[in-house]
Amino acid sequence: MVVRRLVLRSRQLAMLPRSGRSVPEYQREDIRELLVRPYRIIYLVLPEQERIDVLTVRHYRQLLPGDLAEL
């Protein structure tokens, strides 16, 4: 099941928040993604608060908006 795969993959972020790659569209070190084909889990690393925020889960063919606020 797709939802289960997404949840299991995202759990690694609790221990390894920077394990995902930088999102090429945004060129920021704090915006990262995990790939769970055919989806991308795009998240924000907040080291000061010791947490991550998942911004969106998108199909890899879906274009990302130019403005992060639109995620």
Q: What is the DSSP letter of 67?
A: S
Backbone angles phi, psi at 26, to 5 degrees: -110, -20
> Does 68 map to a domain?
no
Q: Is the pLDDT reported for residue 66 higher than 90? A: yes
pLDDT value of position 1 = 87
Cα–Cα distances in angstroms (integers) from residue 3 to residues 34, 42, 54, 59, 66, in the given order: 14, 15, 14, 13, 27
CA distances from 51 to 20, 31, 36, 44 (A): 14, 13, 21, 9
> Does any domain span residue 53?
yes
Q: Which of the two residues, 71 and 59, has the higher pLDDT score?
A: 59
Domain of 33 in residue numbering reads as 2-62
- For the entire predicted model, the pTM comes to 0.91
**Count of structural domains within the chain:** 1
How distant, in Å, are the alpha carbons of 2, 6, 42 from that of 13? 18, 12, 11
Residue 6 covered by a domain? yes
pLDDT of the residue at 4: 94
What pLDDT digit, counting tens, does each position of 7-62 carry? Answer: 999 999 988 999 999 999 999 999 999 999 999 999 999 998 889 999 999 999 99
